[in-house]
Structure 1
Amino acid sequence: MRKTFGNSYLVANATKMHGGAQKVVYKIDCINGFSCILYVWDLAANYFQEEIANEDLNARSYGSDLFEVNNRFLTEIGVQTPALYDLNKERSRYTFDYALVEYVNGHKAEDYFHHSDPRVQDQVFERVGHMLTGMHANERQIYGKPNQISNNRESCHLLQLENAKIQLSYASQHIEGIRANQSKMLEKLYELESQIDPRSRYGFIHGELGPDHILVTDSFEPYLIDIEGAEFFDIEHEHSFLEFRFGDFYRYLKHDNLDTNRILFYRFHHHISLTSGGLKLLHRGFPDQQFAQGLIDHHYRCTLQFIEG
């Protein structure tokens, strides 16, 4: 803190904030009244370290380098995200990377789901919708991270097809209903994938944009957080996730020109992936076990509905 801000920034409190599955987050309060956030990318504290070690899909959403790239890009395109004050990747004193970032004093967007004033809800979610529309409108001809310049050889949705197969295999080891229906689920995946036409334009998406990944200030300004997974991709991947995470409030975020075949494919992928993800959190000691179990139960039911309906 002294190195970054000066000698008058003495730490009064460091409070661990809960909820993160891939990095550790602390709120730092100084005796002079200044506050900021400390991000720690310590693989030992990551609940998906096995997937990262095996270079599975989750590896694309972890790491200080991705945070740095996406923080810079979002700032350049005018999408608000907490400012990066300092990033240390030297690992000379510690075995992990860490960063000091802006503390945004506000509430998560999900807190406004039950706000008593519908006019406040309108203002908040209209601004969120405007922010997302602007972000998704940033397009290019190759998918991937903002600093990626080489073209990918296959369509981006095929990455999610392979990931869905991996996650389905994991879930089938722990849920009898998935084990018994695994072949039907695979058939459904391939059926939905076969209906997708080629594409050569990709928008910039957050990648896991729930209402808990948007902070809203007291003046109703939205800020994106947990941005490591952001990249150029099919925006249907984002919208299929937004639709069930925001529920009725998705009406503020809707896009009129989405590919319905991609929406269906990605929605099924999300349900499979989140069932598996919930199981991994449950098995690996995630503090909020009730949340992990609820994630499993809900998305498992949704996967069954796809093959039943």
Structure 2
Amino acid sequence: MGKVFGTGYSVAMVTKMHGGAQKVVYKIDCTNGFSCVLYVWDITMNYFQEEIANQYTNAQSYGSELFEINNRYLTGHSIRTPILYDLNKERNHYNFDYALVEYVAGQDAEAYFNHPDARVKDTIFQRLGDMITGMHAGESGIYGKPNQAESNTEQCHLLQFENAKIQLSYASEYIDVIRENQGKLLDMLHNLESQIEPRSRYGYIHGELGPNHVLVTDHLEPCLIDIEGAEFYDIEHEHSFMEFRFGDFYRYLKNDHLDVNRKLFYQYHHHLSLISAGLKLVQRGYPDQQTAKGISDYHTRRALQFIEDVTEN
């Protein structure tokens, strides 16, 4: 703290905050009243280190370099995210990278779902909708991180296609109802993928934009956090995720010009992926076991309901 901010910034208290599954987060309070946040990217504390080691999709959303790249992009395009004060990747004293970032006072967006004042809710979610529309409008002919120069040879949705097969296979080992319906679930995945037409333009997405990744400031301004997974990609990937994470409040965020087939495919992929993700968190000792199990159970039901609904229609 002294090296970054000066000798007047003495640490009074360090508090571990509720972080995600891929990095450790602390709030630092100083004796002079200043507060900031410490991010620690320690792979030994990551609940998906096995997937990262094997270069599965989690590897695209972990690490200080991805945070730095996306922080620069978001800040440069006037999309609110905590200010990066300092990033240390030297590993001279520790075997992990860490950063000091702005402490944004406020609550996450979900805390406002049941707010008694409709005007407050309108203000917050309309602002968030405008922010997301502006973010998605940033286009590229190459999917991937903002600093990526070489184009990929295959369509981006095929990454999710392969990942969904891996996650379905994993879940079938531990969940009876998934194992019993594995063939139907896999057939649906292939069917949805076959409906997708090629694309060569991509929007900039957050990658996991749920209400827990939106902080709302005291001035009711939305601020995006956990930005490591942001990249140029199909915006249908984002919208299909936001639709079930924001529930009724998705009406503020929706886009009426999406590719319906892509959105259906990504929606289904999210269900298959999150069955496995919740299961792994349970198995690997995630502190909030009830939430982790709830994720797996909820998306198991949704995936099975999905194949029934699509078959009926």
Instruction: State the TM bucket, normalised to the shorter chain.
Output: over 0.9
In the TM superposition, what are the counterparts of 1:1-309 in structure 2 within 5 Å?
A: 1-309=1-309
SS of structure 2 residue aligned to 1:192: helix
Quick one: distance in 1 between partners of 2:32 and 2:95?
30
CA shift digits 1:78-99 (9 cap, x unpaired): 1010000000001110000000
Question: Structure 1: which 5+ residue stretches go unaligned?
Answer: none
Q: Which runs of 5+ in 2 are unaligned?
A: none
User: Aligned partners of 1:306, 1:168: CA distance in 2, in Å?
Assistant: 14
Q: Deviations over 1:120-176 (max 9, x none)?
A: 000000000000000000001110000001000000000000000011011001101
CA distance in 2, matches of 1:13, 1:304: 47
In 2, the alpha carbon distance for the partners of 1:38 and 1:298 equals 32
Q: Percent identity?
A: 70
The separation in 1 between residues aligned to 2:296 and 2:231, in whole angstroms, is: 26
How far does the alpha carbon of each residue in 1:260-306 deviate from its partner, in whole angstroms, 9 at most, with x for none?
Answer: 10110000000010110000000000000000111011100001012
**CA deviation after TM superposition for structure 1 residue 307, in Å:** 1.9
CA distance in 2, matches of 1:306, 1:117: 35
Equivalent residue letter for 1:308:
E
Q: TM-score, normalised by structure 1?
A: 0.99
3-state DSSP class of the match of 1:173? helix
RMSD over aligned Cα atoms: 0.5
Q: Displacement, 1:183?
A: 1.2
Q: State the number of aligned residues.
A: 309
| CA distance in structure 1 between the aligned counterparts of 2:100 and 2:307, rounded to whole angstroms | 46
Q: Could you list the runs of 4 or more consecutive aligned residues of structure 1 that deviate by over 3 angstroms after TM superposition? A: none
Q: CA deviation at 1:19?
A: 3.6
